[in-house]
Amino acid sequence: MNNQLHELLKQSSARHDHLCPRQVLGVRMGLAGLAAIGLEAPMPHKAALVILETDGCFADGVEVASGAVVGHRTLRIVDQGKIAATFANVESGQTVRLAPSLDVRQRALKYAPEIKKKYYAQLKGYQIMPETELFTFQEVKLEPALKLIISRPGLKAKCANCGEEIINERQVCAEGKVLCRTCAGERYYNSLEITL
């Protein structure tokens, strides 16, 4: 195992009190994903947008390796419940989605034949397998487009229904009104408030 990987796994596992195969996948995906869009890890300031398809241990691995963070708006989660992530180069626009090879668990065992327990064989195998065996790489186009996701600082709108402020051009136009997504029906909660 090289020093960079060792150091990153240490950082990731320190957040958890354990090192698990998903963190290894995350760290390796963070490194491989940036390389696939022509960037070194950790990314130069705001050079990439990383979209994770799940949260949890995997996400921490990608974070420590890529340097993507929510606070810099370089990290987002679109929760599809998958160990996968898409890496977009903000300058060139090149965008690549990485996911583990479908048979990655089986393949990992071959790299650690001396280890009987599958979990530990995967933990080790994932650290030493070549990237091309570990992941599939797919060129993709973001929808909505990268520019719209990043938007511009300082833009503000006000929802005609709830009155709340909306930043980053996340408002929608419906029936001639400017609405927040929640009021337009794209909601992740229902109000329990009793209206008198």
Instruction: Please report, as ranges, the residues that interact with Zn ion according to CB under 5 A.
Output: 20, 57, 159, 161-162, 180, 183
Three-state SS at 146: helix
Nearest partner of 66 among 78, 94, 58, judged by Cα? 58
Residue with Cβ nearer Zn ion (108 or 183) = 183
Nearest approach in angstroms of CB 162 to Zn ion is 3
Cβ atoms 92, 37 nearer than 8 A: yes
If you search the block for the tokens 């995350």, which residue do you land on? Answer: 26
- Write down the least CB distance from residue 23 to Zn ion, Å: 6
Q: How far is the CB of 179 from Zn ion (least distance, A)?
A: 6
Compare residues 73 and 158 and give the one whose CB is closer to Zn ion. 158
Between residues 27 and 183, which has the closer beta carbon with respect to Zn ion? 183
State the nearest-atom distance from the C-beta of 62 to Zn ion, in Å: 13
Q: Are 57 and 92 in contact (CB under 8 A)?
A: no
Distance from C-alpha of 86 to C-alpha of 72, rounded to nearest angstrom = 17
Kindly state the tokens that stand for 163: 């009155």
**58 φ, ψ to 5°?**
-55, -45
Q: Which is nearer to Zn ion, 50 or 180 (CB)?
A: 180
Closest to Zn ion by CB, 45 vs 195, is 195
> Closest approach of Cβ 78 to Zn ion, in Å?
21
Give me Rg for the CA atoms of the chain.
20
The residue among 81, 38, 34, 90 whose CA lies nearest residue 59 is 81
